[in-house]
Amino acid sequence: MPLSRRNYLAAAATLGAAMIPSARARADIPRLAKIRATAEPRIIEKFTAKGIEYPARRLYLRAFKLEGDLELWAASAAEDRMTLIDTYTICAASGTLGPKRRQGDEQVPEGFYQIHRYNAWSGYHMSLRVNYPNASDRVRGNKYNLGGAIMVHGDCVTIGCIPIENRPIEEVFLAVLDAARRGRQRVPIHIFPARMDDEGVTWLAGRARALGRPALVEFWEELRPVYLYFEATRRVPTIKIDANSGAYSVAAPATDESS
């Protein structure tokens, strides 16, 4: 059903307000309220089973392109180690391993991002927009044609996005939106080429050689410390981006989710 401009602006104001304190007191838009009626009990049940309060104090999304997994992690308190709530299947893919560097390359980005837009009227059921390009991408990519509009969304088609079908996106959408409302902060999403344990890194090095792209290994080596830090601590680190090279590095443990 087409949206009028008036209804669209009202919806945008409500969803966009998810990042400010007053949003917690606002009612959901009608379509989101309808979805919440069936999806919220499912996601609350998953949080309860893991002993995590809902909405979470901290939330974290972690995607692995090779394995086709999107993980949802949460914690009840800022100082708590995070707990895996569920792993959702990324049901379609485009491009190949490696970062996104320009418009039209069909690549899913790799690196460290945040969710910064919510669309309950997406053409792919619902969507969460990733803040690609980030500061690293703007240094390393095509400066005049980086592309954008990278989403985690429903349905099962993609050109550079992360589709997880409709029921899963309902759960993830609500968990992210509600955590953002509670904490007044953006939820981080880290996108890796693969699980970066020893086996994964060895496989990726071989893949880079097969593609004739040895520079990929250096890029992936920047991502690995973030993966290893979280594996060891179950906390999301603060990540630095070098202003000149765009290189990533782990700065320190995060005190919030503003990586």
Residues identified as active-site: 153, 161
- Provide the CB-side half-sphere exposure for 149 (13 A, CA): 10
| 141 residue type, one letter | G
Cβ neighbours of residue 113 under 8 Å, at least 6 residues apart? 130, 131, 132, 134, 188, 189, 190, 191
- Provide the CB-side half-sphere exposure for 54 (13 A, CA): 20
What pairing do the DSSP bridges indicate for beta strands 187-192 and 162-163?
unpaired
Judged on CB neighbours under 10 Å (0-12, 13-18, 19+), 27 is exposed
E strand or H helix at 201: helix 198-211
